[in-house]
Amino acid sequence: MSQGRLRPAQLLGYAAGDAGNNLTFSMVGMFLLLYYTDVAGIPATAAGTVFLVVRIWDGIADLTAGRLVDRTRGRWGKFRPWLLFGSAPLLALGVACFWVPPLSADGKLLYAYLSYGAYGTAYSLVNIPYGALAAAMTQDSTQRTRLATARTMGAAGMTLLLTLVVSPQIKGSADLQSSLLATTSVFAVIGLALYLFAFGSAREVVPRPAEPVGFRRSLRTLADNPPLRLLCLSSLAFLLAQFGLLGVGIYYARDVLGDADFYVVLVGAQTAMYFLSPIVVPSLVSAFGRRASYLLGCVVLAVGTVGLVFAPASARVFPVGCFVLVGMGIGTVSALMWSLEADAVDYGHWRTGVRAEGATYAVYSFVRKLGQALGGATVSYTIGLAGYVGGATVQTESARWGIRIATGAIPAAGALLAFTVMLFYPLTVGRFQEIVSELRERTRAVEVG
């Protein structure tokens, strides 16, 4: 099974897992900053510090979660029990993020830290085993690309759903607090069903050592893994770009283009490109390889975000075209990131003899959280320092330009930095196939011996 083609139910179940993740994760990424500034009344600069501090804490939680996952043994495997038992608390805490009680300014800020921090910790305990599960479902690089594409589509579907449901509330709801609380509660029920489907359909079939991996041995396999290090650095820069744009997209539609409802069109154009990834990405990989395809995605994202800086508000077809490019860039790179991370697990196993899926994914996720923290904080500080005023009917010209820079220039810089780092990535398709073949021979030798 570890070498064979994954069944459609397995791919659909894995996609459902990331769909469940993104019912809270994308909700937080897309709308929590707006909720803090315009509903809870937390200044943008203070909210930026919340994102920075909490997401760094999330990264530490990822490392702890990876350690816990690698020590897990049970009848349902190493990763699946976390989806079963961790999903309900995670979804409940996602709802709590969008209910800041009517406290003093300091009280609201403290609640934001505590609720968002608790949510991030719970997310680590579900997302780390979910992400590491891909390396245990197959060792075939093509099938891993299909798994990565499936999770990208699952996330994209939820992003589109969130946009269609939540964006109209930004403009049309008389009581946005109550509206968002009701919406996130419904999403929690849907998310639980998705997680349970993922738990039931995924299977862990890749052989691994029977004994738990010690902490020192886990550190060794991570330290002696150049492909993982370069992937982490590139991903940090790319996630800065992606989540910087994600956090201020609604501001761009409402305050720069003048219509919050137009955010649905922008995200729809972007998400449409995600759904093309099952067709486009495998063809790109077959023609050019994964590294070249990843580099192309970075360039496309940079071009699209630079265009958003200068897009005229009156010619809306131009920003729509830019968001199409953004979707192409993010969809391509996102589909490849996860398969490259799974390859890093096999590289570490081959290099050190230790198979530490949880620890490897936790380190990778930790670096991704740093990128998300920097992206969210940077754009929050940018619009705050440019003069953005939460709840104001009309923003100043300076504030609007701050939103343009946060939406376009900062993500473009992150994408180009990600491109530069990935130029040095060493693990080619041919070399990876050699490594997997050697790992299979080692497994056979152990079984025969």
Interval 126-183: pLDDT, tens: 988 898 888 788 877 778 778 878 888 888 889 889 988 998 888 765 688 999 999 9
Three-class secondary structure of residue 47 per DSSP: helix
Q: Which CATH number fits the domain that encloses residue 275?
A: 1.20.1250.20
- In a 13 Å sphere around the CA of 336, the CA atoms on its Cβ side amount to 31
In a domain, residue 214? The reply is no
CA–CA dist 15, 364 (Å, integer): 20
In a domain, residue 219? The reply is no
Report pLDDT for 132. 80
Report pLDDT for 115. 97
In a domain, residue 218? The reply is no
Helix ranges restricted to H, 138-225:
141-172, 176-201, 215-223
Residues belonging to the chain: 449
In a domain, residue 213? The reply is no
In a domain, residue 100? The reply is yes
Q: Which domain holds residue 126?
A: 8-207+227-448
- In a 13 Å sphere around the CA of 163, the CA atoms on its Cβ side amount to 24
Q: Tell me the CA end-to-end span of the chain in Å, nearest whole number.
A: 22
Report pLDDT for 216. 62
Judge contact between 357 and 135, C-beta under 8 A.
yes
In a domain, residue 313? The reply is yes
Report pLDDT for 92. 96
- Listed as ranges, residues in the chain with pLDDT below 70 are 1-4, 172-174, 207-222, 278, 356-358, 446-449
In a domain, residue 124? The reply is yes
Radius of gyration in angstroms for the set of CA atoms belonging to the chain, rounded to a whole number: 21
Report pLDDT for 210. 46
Q: Provide the whole-model pTM.
A: 0.75
In a domain, residue 302? The reply is yes
Split into its structural domains, the chain has a count of 1
H-run or E-run covering 45: helix 44-70
